[in-house]
Copies of this chain bind each other. A is one copy, B any other.
Amino acid sequence: MIDVAAWLTSLEQALAQNEPDQVADLFLETGLWRDFLAFDWTLATHEGRPAISAFAARRGAATSATDWTTEAASGASEGFIAFETAQGPGKGYVRLVEGKALSLFTMLDELKGHEFPLRKRRPTGLPDGETWSDRRERERAALDSSGQPYVLIVGAGQAGLALGATLRLLGVPHLLIDKHPRVGDQWRSRYKSLTLHDPVWYDHMPYLPFPDHWPVYTPKDKMGDWLELYATAMELDVWTRTELKSARPADTGWTATVLRNGQELELRPAHVVMAVGNAGFPRLPEFPGAETFQGQQYHSSAHPGGAGLAGKRVVVIGANNSAHDICADLVEHGAHPVMIQRSSTHIIRQSTMTDVMLKPLYSQEAVEAGLTTERADLISASVPIRLQEIGSRQAWAKIREAEAPFYSRLEQAGFKLDFAEDGAGIAGKYLRSGSGYYIDVGACEMIADGRIALRSGIEVNRIVPDGIELANGEHLPADLIIYATGFGAMEEWVARLIGDDVAARIGRCWGYGSGYRGDPGPWDGEMRNMWKPTAQDGLWFMGGNLAQARFYSRLLGLQLKARLEGLTGG
């Protein structure tokens, strides 16, 4: 049987001889080659032999990848791989089925001559004509006056900070701007009992991992503090209390107008990275009679927390993450919430996420078995989205069975469940539309036992002065109505801040073209416009959860560094 080492020898040969069809023939008929910057300056998956042959024809010989090696044992059908290209060292992972590749993942790891200054490459720290504090002072002063960053990062949450850290290490001048008074305020300003929904092993920021005493689920204020100290430890240049007002493509990049502490300033970065979160603007439904309501009503994003709401009757319209979180918060504060679930919701218990889905790669057990976060991330990325979908459906079939008592209790309380249209569960929901789910950290039990009242499968008819009226005529009295009705898409920021023309050219962000709800086709196979070049030169999108911020910040950082150094030939 052909093992990984033998397969790599054939691949190296086929590439060297510039035989695209031979390359393709090393794959299964439906094989997949996912490449992140190693063979081409973008993130893409080439699916099936014809596409692989075309990719090999275009980039195979040109890349001159050599020195293919593997850590896989003799006879193994999958394992880590490494190789070298003219740009720098690459790494990846290959999975064989009967000697043919089901999937090949290749990724650029470093840029030759511009390696990450880590471990043996770390700086000495000794003064070199200039002390550390003088250098930092000079850098800050330069940005404050006429100095211009090469990269302007809009938003200093985890995504922006992770990218900033990569750019700092690679020596790419950057400026992060954020509207909040302090780094971390995005987290601090949320409701009190919030913690990260994913466990600590999955949530490390790049380069500065959480220490061993860190809680499994980071409380939101602690997360805010960590991001703030991360910015200090990584020497990031951040302007807080600063908002982007507009950005327009200019000759050599952008003209960006920012409002800093109330003062307008013009910046001329070569690149603008939108790192404003995965959502656009709050979406408010228009119900008849809303203007007649005598209590308070606001969007979930404006909810300050349940303090002071004891005894109040609150109608929460919506049944995804925000709605659940807010209802639980209301119960904890002695208020009486009614959740209005208009369509079905996907539920995954936090314990299932931690102990079933993430455990093999991101857990204390994985760490103690020697699996580093870097390798876990590589294994994760090595699975093309096409295969992720299949794996998710299989996993969820098992989870639904194992968790049947939990789900049937919820259904008995009237809750409308779904597991994504194709049964792919959370992965399908999260990657396709970023909505339609709740990671259960306790609200489900409150629904099951009635502490959170529920009306499901029903629309709101109208708002009346003292509450709401449902489609079946039921009248729900309310002192407060909270619209947990979600957010628009990320690209709304482009339309507002950059212009409708650019927004139209870019198209949608997020999703991969599955064709399922919230994620129209055609199939793309990678996340739309995320972490890779867009149709607008110099406009980029960071975003995603902490794990994505960690992994993709490095890839986007490499792309920006390559442009600064003129390595992309474009």
Q: Which residues of A contact B (CB under 8 A)?
A: 116-120, 122-127, 131-134, 136, 169, 192-193, 195-196, 200, 207-209, 211-222, 225-226, 228-229, 232-234, 364, 367-368, 441
Q: Is the CB of A192 within 8 A of B119?
A: no
Q: Is the CB of B221 within 8 A of A123?
A: no
Q: Is the CB of B213 within 8 A of A207?
A: yes
Extra inter-chain contacts (11) besides given A124-B216, A211-B233, CB under 8 Å: A122-B216, A123-B215, A124-B215, A125-B195, A125-B200, A131-B192, A133-B220, A133-B221, A208-B211, A228-B232, A229-B233
Q: Is the CB of A133 within 8 A of B192?
A: yes
- The contact of A126 among B131, B212, B217, B368, by CB within 8 Å, is B217
Q: Is the CB of A232 within 8 A of B221?
A: no
Chain A interface mostly helix, strand, loop or mixed? loop
Q: Is the CB of A193 within 8 A of B131?
A: yes
User: Could you tell me the distance between the alpha carbons of A81 and B291 in the complex, rounded to whole angstroms?
Assistant: 75
Q: Is the CB of A215 within 8 A of B122?
A: yes
Contacts of A118 in B (CB 8 A): 212-213
What are 26 A-B pairs at a CB distance below 8 A?
A: A117-B213, A118-B213, A119-B364, A119-B367, A119-B368, A122-B200, A122-B213, A123-B216, A124-B216, A124-B217, A125-B195, A125-B200, A125-B222, A126-B195, A126-B217, A127-B193, A127-B219, A132-B195, A132-B222, A133-B192, A133-B220, A133-B221, A207-B211, A211-B233, A213-B234, A225-B232
Closest chain B residue, CB of each to CB of A124:
B216
Closest chain B residue, CB of each to CB of A354:
B124
User: Could you tell me the distance between the alpha carbons of A529 and B215 in the complex, rounded to whole angstroms?
Assistant: 36
Query: In the complex where A122-B200, A195-B126, A232-B229 touch, is A169 in contact with B131 (Cβ < 8 A)?
Result: no
Q: Is the CB of B131 within 8 A of A219?
A: yes
Closest chain B residue, CB of each to CB of A132:
B219
Closest chain B residue, CB of each to CB of A123:
B215
Q: Is the CB of B217 within 8 A of A207?
A: no
Closest chain B residue, CB of each to CB of A215:
B125
Contacts of A196 in B (CB 8 A): 125
Listed from nearest, the 7 A-B pairs whose CB atoms lie closest are A125-B215, A132-B219, A229-B229, A125-B217, A133-B221, A118-B212, A208-B211
